[in-house]
Amino acid sequence: MADLAKDLHTEHMVMNMGPSHPVTHGTVKFMVTLDGETIVDLKTNIGYLHRGFEKMCENGTWEQVMPYTDRLNYVSPLINNVGYALAVEKLIDIDVPDRCKYIRVIASELARISDHYTNIAAGGLELGAFTAFLYFVEARELVWDLIEMLTGGRVTSNYVRIGGLKNDIPDGFKEKTQDVFRRCRELWTDIHKLLTKNRIFIDRVRGVGTMPPDEAIAYGFTGPCLRASGVLYDVRKAHPYLVYDLMDFDIPIGENGDNFDRYLVRMEEINQSMRIVEQALEKMPKGPINVDMPQYRWQAKNDVYNKIESLIFHFKTVTEGIKPPPGEIYLAVEGGNGELGFYLVSDGSGKPYKCRVRPPCFPLTAAMPRMVKGGFLADIIPTFDMINMIGGECDR
Amino acid sequence: MEANVTLKKICDRFPDSVVETHSYRGDDTAVVKKDDILKICQFLRDDKELLYNFMMDLTAVDYLGTEPRFEIVYHLYSLQYNRRVRIKAKVSESDCSIDSIVSLWIAADWFEREAYDLYGIIFKGHPELKRILLYDGFEGHPLRKDYPIKKRQPLIGPTN
């Protein structure tokens, strides 16, 4: 039989996957060159969700950028909000009140939990584990209930403000969080039982899409995918922002850098994020949530209506935008997928001169060919799931 | 000043290449001559006391009206020493090109393509310099400051 096959005339087949394929969630196109079922070459085409984020930012005020950041990584928009606000605050040199820092940590971690839920749920779904999807989507709905309670929105929250927050934590938030986390932990255990030792799941993800640590660094990996390769780098620990240095949490790392480790790292990060939220709710001090700098942060509505100075500042900041001093800064926060960096340039006017986002899933998507070449066509699915490419963030 | 080790080292090593340095809001920045970008990056990556192994970000800024017009901005990170540095190189409009650093960090591949796509900077030695976020056949580079915000270029189906 082998001799017979040797003489057969075979040739490679080029196939398009996407841009609208069930597993390429986030509109990306793969041009796969196949030898039978083995991937010989893969080319990734992105840009289907490009909407000119930077150009839009450059033509709005600094505050008008905030809703655009919601649409970057739309699975964890609160982290984008926090990252952008921190970047502008670094540019202006604002130190927000302690209570605001704690609430931002809570918001970021809730967003991270929902990000990881979505990723694992969708990953399970695409490998045929529909039950896992339903369970984690239930958990995500519960976390979104919390986010809704806090911000008023479920997906595009637009909650953080430069120099503060839209509103304080509502009454009963702590009790509600305890209830939600109790149920989420049950669901986490169910998922753990359904997937972590599931033979079918393990066969699909273990040893697939492996990335050795040195290559992961060279490709610019950050976040769970880098940590799955065994490299200990988390912005929350390396450059602690807000009050992460006061929180007690662990950073899980993997050993093999394959998709299974990426899954395990994310599963553990969910637990660690819950720990952070609980600690932050416990330790949170009382006090204001906004800085008292009327040229940058709006005053309370009551003051705006009743005091002439507040009204003037409100009018100036709304019509002309806030005016950070000229300069440039780079600030990174730990997003759901890795290092979410903002590089801002101000020329002293009311509009950003440059508002660059370093999208964490951009280098991950760029490494797709490296991760799947030589594997089977079906391996694209778990690998692409576990790098968690988010179109809104990758294409901007 | 532990934080300024990087700037001091590259100033000592490449006195003729470094145009200026500053540390605004704690961000160490070195502006270097564009012809020396490759060897400076190589030094930053390989020197035992620096080891900038992450090419975190690469982008360009258009300072329309000044000469040289563009600035290419590199953000590097050293895992070993937990340091960041920003390297900038100025590129003029008439010679809108700079050496590619893909040979040092493979991560630069897509970032350079993006800068080419949106700003029209040519990265010499890049293995496959073509548009990434926009489609082939798009005219102009939209993040240039002289590209009108309201200009529309609808893509009506493939031309082939």
Q: Is the pLDDT of residue A65 over 60?
A: yes
Helices (H) and strands (E) in chain A, counts: 18, 8
ipTM > 0.95?
no
CB contact under 8 A, B142 and A52: yes
Cβ atoms of residues B121 and B97 within 8 Å = yes
Interface of A with B (CB under 8 A): 46-47, 50, 52, 54-55, 59, 90-91, 93, 217-220, 222, 231, 233, 238-239, 327-330, 332, 339, 341, 343, 345, 353-354, 356, 358, 362-363, 365-366, 395-396
**Structure-block tokens of residue B75:** 């953000």
The string of DSSP codes covering A132-201 is HHHHHHHHHHHHHHHHHHHHS-SSS---EETTEESSPPPTTHHHHHHHHHHHHHHHHHHHIIIIIT-HHH
3-class secondary structure, A47: coil
Average pLDDT over residues B76-89: 90
For residue B51, being part of any structural domain is answered with yes
Query: How many structural domains are present in chain B?
Result: 1
The parent domain of residue B38 ranges over 2-124
pLDDT over 80 at A1, yes or no: no
Tell me the per-residue pLDDT of B12-30, one tens digit each, with 9 for 90 and over.
888 888 888 888 888 888 8
Q: What is the mean pLDDT of residues A7-21?
A: 81
pLDDT greater than 80 at residue B3? no
* pLDDT, tens only, A306-358: 888 888 888 888 888 888 899 899 999 998 888 999 999 998 888 899 999 99
**pLDDT for residue A272:** 92
Strand partners, A14: A33
CB contact under 8 A, A46 and B27: no
Give the mean pLDDT of chain A: 88
* Residue B99 located in a structural domain: yes
Query: What CATH number is attached to the domain comprising B84?
Result: 3.30.460.80
CA dist., res. A76 & res. A135, Å (int)? 19
Q: Say yes or no: domain A53-395 is CATH 1.10.645.10.
A: yes
Residue among B129, B137, B78, B81 nearest B101 (CA): B129
Start-end of H helices in A8-129: 53-58, 65-70, 77-92, 98-126
Q: How many CA atoms lie within 13 A of A200 on its CB side?
A: 10
CB within 8 Å of A293: residues ≥ 6 apart: A94, A163
Inside any domain, residue B144: no
Cβ neighbours, 10 Å, residue B102: 21
- Residue B41 domain-assigned? yes
Q: Give the per-residue pLDDT at B160.
A: 45
Mean pLDDT of A266-287: 91
pTM of the predicted protein model: 0.89
User: What does the buried/exposed string (b/e) look like for A6-43 if buried means 16 or more CB atoms within 10 Å of the residue's CB?
Assistant: eeeeeeeeeeebbbebebbbbbbbbebebeeeebeebe
